[in-house]
Structures are given as C-alpha cells and as structure tokens.
Amino acid sequence: MHGTDTATEPADHTPLLSNRFLAILTVAVMVLALLSLGISLFGHRFGERWSLAGHSDSTETFDTSIGLDRLRITANTIRFADQRKHGATERLDLYLLWPEMTGYSKENRRRFDDLTQTQSLIFLQLSQSTMSRDMSGRVEPIYSHLFAGTAESGPFGLSLHRFVPGAGYDGEILLTGSRHDKPDYAVRCLLPGPDGPASGSDCQRDIHVGRDLTVLYRFSSDLLSDWQRIDSAIEGYIRSRIVSAPRSATLQKRANAATNDSL
C-alpha cells in the first residue's frame, strides 16, 4: 500500500482589516465629525441671520452726521444693514413702532415682518435739506395753486384738498389742519377705496429738524387719528438724538467775519 502524504498548510494570519484601512477610516470619521460640527455652527448662525431677515436687534449706537447735524442712532432702528455704521452719510432710513417709538426686537418681530401688522410702523428718511420749506411751509406758495375746487371736510378734524389732474399728484390728496402756535399741519395721502385696506405707508409728510435736516416720514392712513401725536413724537425723537451741529467752513468764515466787523 502506498502511504498518502497529508501536507499541513500554514495558517493564514492576515487581518481582515489592514492597519492602513483602519487609519483611513479613522481619518474619514474625524473629517465627517468636523464637517457635521461646522454645518451645525453655520446652520445656527445662518438660521439666526435668516430669522432676522435684515433686521438687527442690537442696541449699539452709531455716531453719524448728515449735513450740518450729527446724530446718535441705535442699530435696531436703522432699516438697512449697510447704513449701520459710523461716519458721514447722505441719507439714513429708520423704522419705529407706533406708539412705542422703539426699534426692532425679537419680541416684536411679527410687527415688522407680518404685512398685516405693518400699519403700526412709521418709516423715516433723514437727509440734508434741499428746500427752504418743509411740507407745511409749501402749502400756501405751492400746493394751494394746484388744488381742484374748495377744501372738503376730511377725517379727524382735517381739511381735504384734491389736486388738479396732471399736477404730479395723481390719486393723492392733501390733508391740512390748524395747530396752536405752529404752522398748519400738512400731509399727502393716497387713501384707499371704501373696501380697500390701507397700506403701511400711504401717507407721507416731511419736516425740518435741527440745523439742516429734513425728516420725511411715512405711515399708514389707519393712524391718521394720531396725526398730532405722531408729528410731535417724531420731531422730539430726532431732536433728542442730535448731539451737535458741526459748523461748516463757510459758516465759520461768516462767523469770523462778523466778529472782526464788530471789533
């Protein structure tokens, strides 16, 4: 009988997962973890910015100058992000809640974002005066020559004036009202129809404040019953934020010349 040789094969001790593969896997897991953390942080910050939708709830104060007037305005009252900075500017856009006269906050965000609630907002535009008269001062020399017919009885003790067609104020009316020791109040409005809702800014008026500042403000005709309070509140609000009126070089020369003439 021939013996049958049985060769014993050496055992295969090669690991199922190589050290190189484990190292690559570990690095990949770490990278994924870092990416997940980054996405979480970015998502949180982006979510906050998205929820603000261009608003700011910061109460940081910016020192800005417009023409001859310098003002200190808080960030949450400034409408546009690119205007939230220090220094000189030609124009500043603000928005305020009525009647609180306060800026944006997370608690009141719906009143800034919900179109059905924007009737409680007042929009302001501050710029250097380009006309010698504000809206009240323009009634007699300008607007009165454009009226169609006689004044009508308007809402809340105001007189209603209609403009002649082609005067440049199509669809608008001018409301005026007498005030004690002040020029007559005047505001232009685009009043809604009998069944139409008022918009958040269908009335506008401009006033002069400070040395050289025009404040154009817009509000909903739903707030016309508060016309006197709104006008006084806006004037007081801006005056309280004017910290100084820098003297221009021209005015300084005139002041020096007047001083020299008196000597």
- First-last CA distance in the chain: 146
Residue with tokens 């809640």: 97
Q: What is the pLDDT of residue 32?
A: 75
Ranges under pLDDT 70 in the chain: 1-18, 21-23, 25, 33, 36-53, 244-263
SS3 148: coil
Q: What is the pLDDT of residue 20?
A: 72
Q: What is the pLDDT of residue 252?
A: 47
pLDDT in tens, 141-189: 999 999 999 999 999 999 999 999 999 999 999 999 999 999 999 999 9
Instruction: Tell which residue, 101, 142, 120, 135, has the closest CA to residue 215.
Output: 135
Distance in angstroms (rounded) separating the CA atoms of residues 191 and 80: 27
What is the largest distance, in Å, between two alpha-carbon atoms of the chain? 146
Q: What is the pLDDT of residue 172?
A: 97
Q: What is the pLDDT of residue 114?
A: 85
Q: What is the pLDDT of residue 121?
A: 95
Q: Which residues contact 189 (CB under 8 A, 6 or more apart)?
A: 172, 173, 174, 175, 202, 203, 204, 221, 224
